[in-house]
Amino acid sequence: MQQLMTRWWHYLVAGLIGLAVGGLALGLLSAAMIYPTLPSLEALKDYRPKMPLRIYTEDGTLIGEFGEERRAVVRTQEAPVILRQAILAAEDERFYSHGGIDTLGVLRAALSNLSSGGVREGASTITMQVARNFFLTSERSFRRKINEALLAIKIEHQLSKDEILELYLNHIFLGQRAYGFAAASQIYFGKPLAQITVAEAAMLAGLPKAPSAYNPVVNPSRARARQLYVLGRMRSLGYITEAQHEEARAQRLGVRYSPQAFEVAADHAAEMVRQYMFQRYGEQIYVSGMKVYTTLQAREQRAAVAGVRLGIVEFNRRRGYAGPEGEVRLPEDPKERAKAVEEALADRAESNGLVPAVVLAVEKDAIRARLRNGDEIELGASETKFAARFLSSKAPKGKRLAPGSIIRVVRLAPGQPWQLTYLPEVEAAFVALSPQDGSIRALVGGFDFSRNQYNHVIQAWRQPGSSFKPFVYSAALEKGVTPATVFDDAPLTVDPSETGDRLWEPKNYDGTTEGPMPLRTALAKSKNLVSIRVLQAAGIDFVRQHAAGFGFDANRLPPYLTLALGVNETTPLQMATAYAVFANGGYQVKPYFLLRVTDKDGRVLEDYRGVPVQQGAPRVLDPRNAFIMTSLMQDVIRRGTATPALRLGRGDLAGKTGTTNDQRDAWFAGFNPHRVGVAWVGYDQPRSLGSGETGGGTALPIWVRYMSEALQGVPDAGYPPPEGVLAMKVDPKTGMSTADGGVTEYFYEEFAPGHVEAPSQGFTLFGD
């Protein structure tokens, strides 16, 4: 019996050995048959991924990307060491020691799956993932796994480890249309790969396992759990110290929840570039890796975006709170509550700094809310006061601010308290350029490109209101009117023949009149009645011709006295170009936003440069006129409708406010010799901005916020009077020269009071 049992064991062992040998032989035979049929690795050796069109500021900051795949290629050695270590910790710790298949990893995964009773762990190496991503489908079959393993071995024989890792770094899909880690860093964190932290590296390295499930935008909590796992693996493998591990765990990641995933928001400008490139090169721009460098400056563009945000948030505050934008039921269980908040905010993108949040509690002097990233914030007493109408029990159903309400909050600067706000209906635009050559340095075409792609800087033809008055005054200077010429700020009735419509009884903005005043005072105070008389003095036809020289479309300049109040139509860019003539001393510069176009390897395909005023830009205005008009517009800031700009503490600023009928448009156009900036606020379907909304109160803050940054480090330049300008002491009430007191005024030499060629001397009252 014992001999029979021994013989049975012998048969069993022999059978198992036979099966193993047979299986091995079958495997070898299958491999021998499949290996020759494996695809060529030429696609890996000559890796040419589809590269998007990438758009940069002049100083090299990425502002736009257009293509089938969002991708940026980096060399292995260019990728941060900490990222490479995070990838190895998460995906393949023995990558540099195995030959394509990690035997120990396979055994570990098999034991793990066996003990768990299911498939919980895989054993794909980085090389196997490269094989799958380049050559195989996602089909789950034994044959595909054999092909994957054999391809991995073939790849290991023909490429170095660094070459394989480079393919992985650049080709792997990481969610949000991002292919490769460089693109993912830009999309998720808005920064170049070289700048990521340990915590960010761990988050990115956790994505390949399941880009959708571990996407920090869509699933922050699962992404966080995966990140912590990767950090733990990095610590256990000795890639980071315990202190680094704890620091990375504590870091709150600035994940981008907005479609704008670049270092600087310049979506309208990027779209301008895309349209130009498509017209020039066609569909190939989306796959060929071309690069376009624009004239924008990253620092100034950020300031412009912040300025528009500030202007709109302040406008919202003045108009009152509009109520929450939705609500969600909050479970009692803290974990379930956090999940409910996460899901409620998943589809609500940040809008130019306006961050979605869910109210957790409402107290007497505070509102507590949670952001999508899990941070809890507190809104103070000023915010409960702002939202008082919606905290009342009488608030309409669905509009009451209570736990579960979905709101918008904003922080206007780091360290400042959070404010309650709401998504605006009103729009805004800002553009700034160099008056010396026309290069556009900042361009914000609207509050949020993802909500409204209409580019108000170049497409919105709106009435400029009083911001057009300087061009009327400039024309009058050519006709002999001087800053000291006295006009009557008195009621006026205009015949229908001079308005093109009906009898017109214009009024000043505040409805009052002040009687005789010099031209300088009239512009500073933006007196409508005086401006009409100035237009009459200069002549309508001459004013239209003169304004066209600044770049305004002559067909949009109506031949009526209403032109004095800016009833023509213009765009913010056209206004900036026109004001540049004053800023640079009389030259017309052509605005431009493209610097150069290169191929993916950096070879220059196109090169653009503006024509500087020193190198041939056409002169369209007497330098004396530019100087005197600048002097007049400096007084608009010093003592007129734009005094809030004095907070910049500069003496070289000049500009003009503009407000149209019924407060439909608010403008400010201002400059110094270094920059011209134009801000506009209004509704796309023109309607009143509301009582009290003016260019000085609504648009000017945008300009001030931008200039505070753009002019940092720029010396206060001043404006030396050109040849032919005479400075004289005059009596401001009469405009007559005086040796006793008076104020200093500037004149064309031939038009100075008392000069034989002057068309008028001393007191001149332009009235009815």
Radius of gyration for the alpha carbons in the chain, expressed in angstroms and rounded = 34
pLDDT bracket for residue 119 (50, 70, 90): very low
Which of the 8 DSSP states describes residue 504?
Answer: B
Range 95-120 average pLDDT: 63
pTM: 0.86
pLDDT bracket for residue 766 (50, 70, 90): very low
Tens-digit pLDDT profile for residues 592-637: 999 999 999 899 999 998 778 778 889 999 999 999 999 999 999 9
Tens-digit pLDDT profile for residues 714-744: 999 889 999 999 999 998 888 888 877 789 9
What per-residue string of b and e applies to 108-123 under the rule 16 or more CB within 10 Å gives b?
A: ebeeeeeeeeeeeeeb
497 Cβ contact partners less than 8 Å away, ≥ 6 residues apart: none
d(CA 533, CA 538): 9
Q: Residue type at 680?
A: W
Tens-digit pLDDT profile for residues 6-55: 556 555 555 555 544 444 444 444 445 445 545 556 656 666 778 899 99
Give the residue among 556, 555, 549 at the shortest CA–CA distance from 461: 556
Range 464-481 average pLDDT: 97
Range 647-664 average pLDDT: 96
Mean pLDDT over each residue of the chain, to the nearest integer: 88
d(CA 309, CA 711): 19
Range 680-702 average pLDDT: 97
CB atoms within 10 A of CB 412: 16
Category of 566 on φ-ψ map: left (φ > 0), alpha (ψ -120 to 50) or beta: left
Category of 612 on φ-ψ map: left (φ > 0), alpha (ψ -120 to 50) or beta: beta
Count of residues making up the chain:
768
Predicted pLDDT at 10: 55
Predicted pLDDT at 7: 59
d(CA 270, CA 272): 5
Share of the chain above pLDDT 90, in %: 66
d(CA 181, CA 204): 7
Which token pair is 686?
A: 């023109």
145, 312, 434, 613 from 583: Cα distances, Å: 70, 28, 9, 11
d(CA 219, CA 147): 33
Predicted pLDDT at 45: 64
85 vs 396, more confident: 85
pLDDT bracket for residue 5 (50, 70, 90): low
d(CA 294, CA 276): 12
CB atoms within 10 A of CB 717: 13
594 Cβ contact partners less than 8 Å away, ≥ 6 residues apart: 273, 276, 292, 293, 294, 295, 606, 608
Predicted pLDDT at 762: 36
End-to-end CA distance of the chain: give it in Å, rounded. Answer: 137
Tens-digit pLDDT profile for residues 214-258: 988 888 888 999 999 999 999 999 999 999 999 999 998 888 776
CB atoms within 10 A of CB 392: 10
Q: Residue type at 367?
A: I
Predicted pLDDT at 498: 73
| CA torsion through residues 761, 762, 763, 767, sign | positive
CB atoms within 10 A of CB 607: 11
Give the residue among 481, 471, 478, 470 at the shortest CA–CA distance from 766: 481
Which of the 8 DSSP states describes residue 570?
Answer: B
Helix segments in 439-556, DSSP class H: 456-459, 469-478, 519-524, 528-538, 540-548
Predicted pLDDT at 178: 86
Helix segments in 190-238, DSSP class H: 198-205, 220-236
| Cα angle, residue 216 at apex, residues 129 and 161 outer, rounded to 5° | 25
Widest CA span in the chain: 144
Category of 160 on φ-ψ map: left (φ > 0), alpha (ψ -120 to 50) or beta: beta
Q: For residue 309, with 0-12 CB atoms within 10 Å meaning exposed, 13-18 middle and 19 or more buried, which class applies?
A: buried
Q: Residue type at 679?
A: A
HSE value, Cβ hemisphere, 13 Å, CA-based, for 547? 31
Please provide residue 341's backbone torsions phi and psi, each rounded to the nearest 5 degrees: -65, -45
Predicted pLDDT at 30: 47
Give the residue among 531, 530, 556, 529 at the shortest CA–CA distance from 544: 556
Does the structure show a pLDDT above 50 at 482? yes
d(CA 679, CA 672): 15
Does the structure show a pLDDT above 80 at 147? no
657 close to 524: Cβ distance less than 8 angstroms: no
Q: Which of these ranges, 44-58, 188-202, 377-391, has the smallest mean pLDDT?
A: 44-58
Does the structure show a pLDDT above 60 at 2? no
Predicted pLDDT at 759: 47
500 Cβ contact partners less than 8 Å away, ≥ 6 residues apart: 558, 559, 560, 562
Tens-digit pLDDT profile for residues 275-302: 999 999 999 999 999 999 999 999 999 9
H or E segment to which residue 667 belongs: strand 665-671
d(CA 521, CA 730): 14
Which of the 8 DSSP states describes residue 417?
Answer: P
pLDDT bracket for residue 121 (50, 70, 90): very low
d(CA 14, CA 553): 97
Which residues are bridge partners to 435 per DSSP? none
Tens-digit pLDDT profile for residues 429-439: 999 999 999 99
DSSP string, 94-111: TTTTSSSS-HHHHHHHHH
Predicted pLDDT at 613: 78
Give the residue numbers annotated as catalytic, written as ranges.
91, 466
433, 565, 592, 668 from 553: Cα distances, Å: 20, 17, 18, 20
| CA torsion through residues 128, 130, 135, 140, sign | positive
216, 262, 695 from 462: Cα distances, Å: 42, 31, 14
282 close to 593: Cβ distance less than 8 angstroms: no
